Amino acid sequence: MSITAAQVKELRERTGAGMMECKKALVETNGDMDAALEHLRKSGLAKADKKAGRVAAEGAIVHASEGARAVLVEVNCETDFVAKDNNFRSFAEEVAGLALSAADIDALNGMAMSGGDSVEDTRQQLVAKIGENVQVRRLAHLDAGDGAIGTYIHGGRIGVMVALTGGDEDLARDIAMHVAALNPDYRDASDVPEDVLAKEREILIAQAADSGKPADIVEKMVTGRLNKRLAEITLTGQPFVKDGDITVGKLLKQKGASVSAFVRLEVGEGIEKEESDFAAEVMQQARGG
């Protein structure tokens, strides 16, 4: 049977698939729109499965908030180019909104999106459409309770949430910007695990051992250096990124506030990226190899 341009246009609008793919699906299903839609979805699933093993270490950190609750979600793709694509961005932002009420990634993947399909089904369709592996990798919630919460996204690649007791949203956001820039490991010295402290002390003692100074002086040296190291790795000990003359801890004290928790996510953390020679790849393709 003859397939009209209107049918192809309708199927394309409903699926986002390419024009030729839509026409082919309609031909194979004798113009049955619902059957063609199902055919494209199955085709998209097959393509998504093929791409699932490819490294997706680019992408975006997106956030959503509601009152004193906020969530960060990492959605990955293979290239920075796709990370800026409107289809990818729209998907990631809608997923973040759903993530506010999702307990974990598995629960999130089963939730329905605005188009009626689940997050997972929509992800697979997106893979087929843009031609890259896409993964909803992780999410993190933060609830400030009666306090203030601040969220900061830097360049779409680093996301931070900070919950305060006391203070306000402006202060919380300033602290979030600081965390994005200086990436402290811990909130304050009390949060540093004992084994980490012991290892730091062991290293410092070894460094001071050859100084030839008396034991009591060595102990003071180690204590001083340990305090300096703690200031480097703790949020409250670091100089405030907007004013290096004051530490974050002193700033919080001036404002009558304290940090109850913070979360920092960065795109691709912990993912082993494949190293590739782009020029060599282009030459190989040009030669048909």
What pLDDT digit, counting tens, does each position of 5-33 carry? 888 888 777 766 667 778 888 888 888 88
pTM, entire model: 0.76
Would you say 168 and 146 are in contact if contact means Cβ atoms under 8 Å apart?
no
Quick one: which of 159, 163, 195, 193 has its CA closest to 177? 159
pLDDT score at 53: 58
Residue type, 229: R
Rounded to whole angstroms, how far apart are CA atoms 170 and 147? 12
Q: What is the pLDDT of residues 93-118, one digit of tens each?
A: 999 999 999 999 999 999 999 999 99
* Domains by residue range for the chain, with CATH: 5-51 (1.10.8.10), 53-143 (3.30.479.20)
Q: What is the mean pLDDT of each run of 10 residues along the chain (289 residues)?
A: 84 70 85 82 55 76 96 95 95 98 96 95 88 93 96 97 96 98 96 93 82 79 90 96 96 97 95 62 58
The residue type at 252: L
Q: What is the 3-state secondary structure (H, E, C) of 45-78?
A: HHHHHHHCCCCCCEEEEEEEEECCEEEEEEEEEC
